[in-house]
């Protein structure tokens, strides 16, 4: 296990409000990590910083073997370097088919001319089919993504993430709006993905986190409050005070 | 590849077929074919309409597919016209001068001819010297290259600056309006070197082809415009199909999601913006020799707004819709403003269409936007019963029954 991502001393404030306060965080590859925390703890901002959407005021974010700084890279460069993100609300391209959505995410060269001259390959088609089967949408490939149910859109977005083949997956509330059976399937999928990659799951649902059975980081007011197994952090008095006690 | 294209877009084959039939029909009925069912001026109007259809198709790619509401594409169209106009004017004036000086006792030097040409062209703005802009004006090949290069480079530089700063939406539209306004104001100045508000004229006469009647020339340009439209249509159909189309429609619907998939959104926008600008330039280079004159008013901001109106009325997001919209509105416009439509006498007030056409156009624009957002192109859905442009069903995000969390703004 080598460290894939290392954040240290990261701070960011919006209009005087400190969303992230001297945050340090590390994740190895492969590893599965859950992040919990009360509302406003800075979980989404944390993801925004890693994916390049928000620039921190201070601190370092280092990536990979060569420890390159992610802070100098654009969102698309970071994504190409191997960071995949799933949003809280499912954001798929509603006007396009499930197949097109997956093909867009499929790991390929991303330049405009590469894309313009791109030709469908048998390997690509096979990979799309494979992913579609994994997320249970094999029968829906020709359908317009906008017609899918909420749960299916969540799946599609997870499928797009898999198609991207990232080294680090950032997953924001993957189980929101899912039925218990679907949640179980999601847990399996994330755990399987975490065998070869680093996976960070932001989740509110304790039951879901328990099933992930992994190291947990508790965020509060933009900093790490506690870290360890779920049982360890839930017995921490600080955590109980700010989060579980309420 | 092309087979796949026709398979994916059956509308391409239909469009080309309809265009070919239309060209055949117009050719047979034209004066050039010996019968005068269609006057030369009407053939020119139709040829110009084909050029407008081409620029509308380009506009649809940039607006309907990529979601960039550019209100400056007619600037590129006008620049294309200016570039070809410079050669047409220079070469023809040179021939006339050379002809008239041949009779002189001492044969004129090339220097003298050039000075006389300058006097002839720029006398109207009180000058006789060629501005630096005209250094290539004696070469058809170079001016044709400029038809592509000048709009292309302007779009490249403008687009790079605008997209790099992440200017989007209505702000970008305003910026493009500012660009076309600035260009128009610049060209209005005599010092700009393109004859100020006089513009370039006499473009309908091709140098060295004085013996060819306008009836024949008009049908040549009509054919050239049709060929350009056909090629441009196929080019754009290819661009918007397949993976490129998928990416640019993704950019239109959710730019940041595309970015997080690893695509450099700005490069894609720049590619589409520049490509469409180049095609607009080519369309302009075919349009203005048929119009005969180009002046800075042609690149005024209103021209680009009209372009957006045509595409909206025709139906965004499908190429044939934009083409039909441009054809319908521009032909109707010339019918109404050309005195074709009879005035309506209401007793107390006479509706004169030359004045009221714009009101009618504005009302139909509002009506289309509110009542039939798919525009004219939407009528074809009734025929095919398929929906090539799917409507977004429902909102993004969890439905009412789903578990929600308060935290986190809507992802933008």
Nearest-CA distance A237 → chain B (Å): 24
pLDDT at B106: 81
- Report the Cα–Cα distance between both ends of chain B, in Å, rounded: 35
What sign does the dihedral B260-B264-B266-B271 (CA atoms) show?
Answer: negative
Q: pLDDT at residue A68 above 70?
A: yes
Residues of chain A contacting residue B256, judged by C-beta atoms under 8 Å apart: 53, 75
pLDDT of residue B400: 44
Checking if the pLDDT of A103 tops 50, the result is yes
- Candidates B337, B328, B323; CA nearest to B57 is B323
pLDDT > 90? residue B141: yes
| Mean pLDDT of the residues in chain B | 87
Q: Please give the average per-residue pLDDT across A198-221, as a whole number.
A: 89
DSSP assignment of B174-204: HHHHHHHHHHHHHHHSGGGSS-GGG-EE-TT
Instruction: Please state the rounded mean pLDDT for residues B36-42.
Output: 87
3-state SS class at B409? coil
Mean pLDDT across chain A:
89
Token pair, residue A33, equals 């990590």
Average pLDDT over every residue of A209-221 = 90
3-state secondary structure A36-93: ECCCCCCHHHHHHHHCCCCCCCEEEEEECCCCEEHHHCCHHHHHHHCEEEECCCCCCC
Q: Do B268 and A112 touch (CB under 8 A)?
A: yes
Nearest-Cα distance to chain B for A46, in Å, is 11
Average pLDDT over residues A88-110: 90
Express each pLDDT in B82-105 by its tens digit: 999 999 999 999 999 888 888 777
For residue A80, give the nearest of B250, B262, B410 by CB distance.
B262
Signed CA dihedral, B44, B47, B49, B54: sign only: negative
Inter-chain touch A88–B244, beta carbons under 8 Å: no
What is the pLDDT, as a whole number, of residue B4? 56
Question: At which residue do the structure tokens 């017609």 appear?
Answer: A147
CATH number at residue A19: 3.40.50.300
A93–B403: do the CB atoms touch at under 8 Å?
no
Residue B3 in this model has a pLDDT that exceeds 70: no
The range of the structural domain enclosing residue B7 comes to 2-300
Q: Is residue B355 part of a domain?
A: no
Q: What is the pLDDT of residue A185?
A: 85
Answer whether A181 touches B (CB < 8 Å): no
Question: What is the secondary structure of B199-264 as a DSSP string?
Answer: -EE-TTSPTT-TTS-HHHHHHHHHHHHHHHHHHHHHHHHHHHSHHHHHHHHHHHH-HHHHHHTT--
Please tell me the total count of domains within chain A: 1
Phi/psi for A196 (5° steps) reads: -115, -10
Q: B172 lies in a domain?
A: yes
Quote ipTM for the complex: 0.89
Lowest-confidence segment of A91-95, B290-294, B336-340 by average pLDDT: B336-340
Pairwise CA distance, residues B204 & B218, whole Å: 9
Asked if residue B10 has pLDDT above 90, the reply is no
Q: How many CB pairs under 8 A join A and B?
A: 124
State the pLDDT at residue B8. Answer: 60
Please name the member of A89, A164, A173 whose beta carbon is closest to the beta carbon of B261. A164
Say if the Cβ atoms of A94 and B392 lie within 8 Å: yes
Whether a cis peptide bond, with omega within 30° of 0, leads into B152 is no
| DSSP structure string for chain A | -EEEEEEEEEEEEETTEEEEEEEEEEEEESEEEEEE--TTSSHHHHHHHHTTSS--SEEEEEETTTTEEGGGS-HHHHHHHTEEEE-SS----TTSBHHHHHHHHSSS--SHHHHHT----HHHHHHHHHHHHHTT-GGGTTSBGGGS-HHHHHHHHHHHHHHH--SEEEEESTTTT--HHHHHHHHHHHHHHTTTSEEEEE-S-HHHHHHH-SEEEEEETTEEEEEE-HHHHHT-HHHIIIII--
Q: Which residues contact B16 (CB under 8 A, 6 or more apart)?
A: B230, B233, B234
User: Could you report the per-residue pLDDT of B169-205, keeping only the tens digit for each?
Assistant: 899 999 999 999 999 999 999 888 899 999 999 999 9
Sign of dihedral through CA atoms A231, A235, A240, A244? positive
Q: Pick from A63, A72, A57, A61: which is nearest to A21 by CA? A: A57
Domain extent for A42: 2-244
Per the structure, how many domains does chain B have?
1
In whole angstroms, what is the distance from residue A180 CA to residue A174 CA? 12
Q: What HEC string does B350-400 produce?
A: EECHHHHHHHHHHHHHHHHHHHCCCCHHHHHHHHHCCCCCCCCCCCCCCCC
pLDDT band at B337, cuts 50/70/90? confident
Residue percentage of chain B with pLDDT more than 70: 91
pLDDT the model gives residue A129: 93
- Asked if the structure places residue B268 within a domain, the reply is yes
As a whole number of angstroms, the distance between CA B283 and CA B277 comes to 10
3 state DSSP class of B293 = strand
Residue that the structure tokens 């701070």 belong to: A11
Tell me the nearest-neighbour CA distance from A92 into chain B, angstroms.
Answer: 8
Which residues of A are less than 8 Å from B254 in CB distance? 91, 93
pLDDT, mean of residues A159-171: 93
Residue with more model confidence, B20 or B337: B20
Indicate the SS3 state at residue B344. strand
* Banded pLDDT at B369 (limits 50, 70, 90): confident
pLDDT at B408 over 50: no
Give the closest-approach CA distance of A176 to chain B in angstroms. 6
Contact B254/A144, CB-based, under 8 Å? no
Number of Cβ within a 10 Å radius of residue B251? 24
Q: With bands split at pLDDT 50, 70 and 90, how would you rate the model's confidence at B352?
A: confident
Q: Which of B86, B78, B20 is nearest to B222 (CA)?
A: B20
Q: How many angstroms separate the CA atoms of B66 and B379, rounded?
A: 23
Q: How confident is the model at residue B409 (pLDDT cuts 50, 70, 90)?
A: very low
CA distance B252 to B272: 12
Strand partners for A20: A12
What is the CA angle A73-A76-A81, rounded to 5? 70
């Amino acid at each position: 296990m080598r460290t894939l991502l290392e954040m240290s001393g990261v701070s960011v404030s919006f209009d005087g409000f400190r969303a992230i306060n001297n945050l340090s965080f590390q994740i190895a590859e492969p590893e599965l990590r859950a992040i919990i925390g009360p509302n406003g703890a800075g979980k989404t901002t944390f993801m925004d910083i890693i994916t390049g959407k928000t620039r921190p005021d201070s601190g370092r974010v280092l990536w990979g073997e060569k420890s390159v700084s992610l802070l100098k890279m654009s969102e698309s460069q970071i994504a190409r370097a191997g960071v995949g993100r799933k949003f809280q609300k499912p954001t798929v391209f509603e006007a396009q088919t499930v197949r097109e959505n997956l093909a867009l995410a499929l790991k390929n060269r991303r330049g405009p001319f590469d894309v313009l001259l791109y030709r469908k390959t048998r390997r690509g088609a096979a990979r799309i089919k494979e992913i579609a089967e994994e997320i249970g949408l094999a029968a829906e490939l020709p359908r317009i993504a906008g017609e899918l149910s909420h749960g299916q859109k969540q799946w599609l977005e997870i499928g797009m993430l898999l198609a991207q083949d990232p080294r680090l997956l950032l997953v924001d509330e993957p189980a929101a709006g899912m039925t218990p059976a679907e949640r179980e399937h999601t847990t399996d999928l994330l755990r399987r993905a975490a065998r070869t990659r680093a996976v960070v799951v932001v989740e509110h649902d304790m039951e879901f986190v328990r099933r992930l059975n992994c190291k947990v980081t508790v965020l509060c007011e933009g900093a790490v409050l506690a870290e360890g197994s779920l049982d360890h952090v839930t017995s921490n008095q600080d955590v109980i005070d700010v989060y579980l006690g309420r | 590849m092309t087979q796949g294209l026709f398979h994916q877009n059956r509308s391409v084959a239909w469009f080309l077929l309809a265009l070919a039939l239309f060209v055949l029909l117009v050719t047979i009925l034209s004066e050039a074919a010996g019968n005068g069912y269609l006057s030369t001026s009407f053939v020119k109007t139709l040829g110009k309409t084909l050029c407008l259809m081409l620029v509308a198709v380009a506009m649809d790619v940039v607006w309907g597919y990529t979601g960039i509401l550019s209100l400056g594409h007619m600037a590129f169209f006008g620049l294309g016209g200016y570039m070809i106009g410079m050669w047409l004017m220079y070469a023809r004036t040179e021939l006339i001068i050379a002809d008239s000086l041949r009779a002189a006792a001492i044969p004129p030097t090339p220097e003298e001819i050039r000075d006389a040409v300058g006097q002839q062209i720029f006398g109207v703005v009180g000058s006789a010297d060629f501005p630096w802009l005209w250094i290539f004006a004696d070469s058809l090949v170079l001016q044709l290259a400029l038809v592509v290069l000048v709009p292309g480079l302007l779009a490249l530089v403008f687009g790079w600056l605008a997209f790099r700063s992440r200017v989007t939406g209505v702000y970008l539209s305003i910026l493009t309006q500012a660009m076309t306004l600035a260009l128009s104001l610049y060209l209005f100045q005599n010092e700009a070197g393109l004859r100020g508000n006089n513009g370039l004229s006499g473009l309908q006469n091709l140098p060295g082809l004085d013996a060819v009647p306008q009836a024949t020339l008009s049908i040549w340009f009509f054919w050239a415009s049709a060929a350009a439209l056909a090629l441009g249509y196929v080019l754009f159909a290819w661009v918007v199909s397949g993976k490129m189309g998928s990416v640019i429609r993704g950019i239109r619907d959710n730019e940041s999601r595309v970015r997080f998939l690893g695509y450099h959104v700005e490069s894609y926008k720049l590619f589409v913006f520049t490509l469409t600008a180049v095609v607009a330039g080519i369309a302009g280079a075919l349009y203005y020799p048929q119009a005969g004159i180009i002046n800075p008013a042609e690149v005024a901001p209103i021209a680009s707004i009209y372009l957006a109106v045509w595409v909206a009325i025709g139906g965004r997001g499908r190429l044939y819709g934009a083409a039909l919209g441009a054809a319908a509105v521009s032909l109707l416009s010339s019918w109404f403003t050309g005195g074709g439509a009879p005035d309506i006498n209401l007793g107390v007030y006479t509706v004169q269409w030359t004045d009221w056409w714009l009101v009618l156009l504005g009302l139909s624009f509002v009506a289309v936007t509110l009542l039939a957002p798919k525009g004219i192109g939407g009528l074809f859905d009734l025929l095919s019963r398929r929906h090539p442009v799917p409507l977004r069903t429902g909102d993004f995000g969890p439905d009412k029954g789903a578990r929600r969390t308060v935290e986190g703004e809507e992802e933008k």
